[in-house]
Amino acid sequence: MASITFQGNPVQTVGELPEVGAQAPSFELVGADLAPVSSEELAGRRVILSIFPSLDTGVCAKALREFNERATALENTTVVCASKDLPFAAERFCSAEGIENVSTGSAFRSSLGEDYGVTMTDGPLEGLLSRAVVVIDEQGKVVYTQQVSEVTDEPDYDAALAALA
């Protein structure tokens, strides 16, 4: 169980992020078009999983925009932005913001939060996903993780992208 904070107050998650070097847990999310976004369909590609509570917060929206901008320079890499937002909300947000370089995936009916240890178990956002980044290589191995210690802080974009080098 990870100990993080939300607006300075302690919050726990259901577990810990996968270890670097471990095989990444498989996942299946629901894309904006209601089609699956899965680790199986991304096999052979590098994946950046940007996990966050909700697009309806400024920091989450900013992180999605930032990964969208940086994704243009990445080869053989898919950035998957995962939250429990409904696919319709993600589609609206991406359409309004011109987001085209990342995939969104809703975990509303997925075990991603439990499998990756990021579902918050208490606090005002209980049940939503904490802010985290997991980078997975072409072989499905975890090469980088960051559990952001304060949910309202942005992830370390540079460190996540450096893990792909």
Selection from 45, 30, 54 nearest residue 103 by Cα? 30
- The answer to whether residue 44 scores a pLDDT higher than 90 is yes
Which residues are CB-contacts of 112 (< 8 A; sequence separation ≥ 6)? 27, 29, 51, 82, 118, 129
* 68 vs 127, higher pLDDT: 127
- Catalytically active residues, by annotation: 60
What confidence score (pLDDT) does residue 156 get?
97
* CA–CA distance, 161 with 165 (Å, rounded to integer): 7
* CA–CA distance, 155 with 147 (Å, rounded to integer): 8
- The answer to whether residue 127 scores a pLDDT higher than 90 is yes
Average pLDDT in the chain: 95
Q: How many CB atoms lie within 10 A of CB 50?
A: 25
